[in-house]
Structure 1
Amino acid sequence: MERIPCPHCGLRPLAEFSYGSEVVTRPDPATADDAAWGDYLYTRSNPKGPLTERWVHVHGCRRWFTLTRDTATHRVLDSPFRGDEV
C-alpha cells in the first residue's frame, strides 16, 4: 500500500490525500502578460523523475503541504515529515 508522509499526522494511506498540483512560481501581476498567466495556469513540466508537489490531507488534518516525489517510482524523496521512514 502506498503511503504519504503528512507532516502533521505521520504516514497515512494514499487514499486519504488529494493531489493539488506541481509547485510553480506565480508571475508578477505588475509585469506578466497573458502568455505568462496562461503558462502559470495551464502548463506543467510533467517530468519523469523528481517533482515538487502540493498535497492536501482531505481525510485527516485537512492541511496542505509540499513534498518532493519521484514520478517514475512514486517514492517520496523529501517531505516536512520527520518520522523514521518516508
Structure 2
Amino acid sequence: MLLITCPYCGPRAETEFRCGGEGHITRPGPHDAVTDEAWADYLFYRTNPKGEHRERWLHSAGCGRWFNLARDTVTHRITAVYPMGEALPEGTAA
C-alpha cells in the first residue's frame, strides 16, 4: 500500500485517494473550434511511461481536494506532491 502525503491533510493510506490519470493535460479550446481528432486525443490518449510520471490525485475520503503527484510507475516511489496549478518542483526528475 502506498502512503500518500496530501498537501493539505498530511500522510494518509492510498485507500483514501483516487487517481485521476495523467497530470498537466490541457483541455483543447475554444470549444467551438476543436476538431473531433483533437477532442478524441484529449479524452482517450495518454502517455504510459515506464518510470517517472506526473499524475492527478483526489483525496476523496479526506479533504476532497485535487493535487499533483510525481511517481515512478515501476517502483511506485513518490518523488513529489504539489498543489494543482503549480509546476513540478525543481529538482524532481519527472
Same fold by TM (over 0.5)?
Answer: yes
TM-score by length of 2: 0.77
Q: Which runs of 5+ in 1 are unaligned?
A: 82-86
Letter in 1 for 2:4: I
Count of residue pairs the alignment pairs up: 81
Pairing partner for 1:59 from 53, 58, 61:
61
- Work out the CA distance in 1 between the residues paired with 2:27 and 2:4: 26
4+ residue stretches of structure 1 with deviation over 4 A?
none
RMSD: 1.6
Pairing partner for 2:70 from 68, 71, 79:
68
Q: Which has the higher contact order (CA 8 A, sep 6+)?
A: 1
Q: Which runs of 5+ in 2 are unaligned?
A: 84-94
TM-score by length of 1: 0.84
Identical counterparts, % of pairs:
52
